[in-house]
Amino acid sequence: MKIKTIIHEADEGGFWAEVPSIPGCATQGETFEELLSNLYEAIEGCLSVDIKSPETGDNSRVIEIAV
């Protein structure tokens, strides 16, 4: 899976990044390498959040898939 991110240079030094396709997913780092490490962790954390299970009918089912 590929996810686009927007990387910004912070005014006070370092970098910060946001993930437009995942609302609220953002992180920062003092160096670009630290930012990338934190970005992987932030995306994983945002995608692993449990949400309320959808209601299903008699002929429906909920499954989990890995991407």
Q: pLDDT tens digits, residue range 28-63?
A: 999 999 999 999 999 999 988 766 766 777 777 777
Residue 11 clears pLDDT 90, i.e. is over it: yes
pLDDT at 37: 96
Task: Please choose, from the candidates 49, 41, 46, the residue with its C-alpha nearest in 3D space to the C-alpha of residue 20.
Answer: 46
Please give the radius of gyration of the chain, using alpha carbons only, rounded to the nearest integer: 16
Domains in the chain, CATH or no CATH each? 1-50+57-67 (3.30.160.250)
pLDDT of residue 49: 74
CB 40, CB 48: distance < 8 Å: no
pLDDT of 66 over the 90 cut? no
Q: What is the pLDDT of residue 45?
A: 92
Strands (E), the chain: 6-9, 15-18, 26-29
Residue 6: which residues within 8 A CB-CB, separation 6 or more?
17, 18, 19, 20
- pLDDT score, position 43: 94
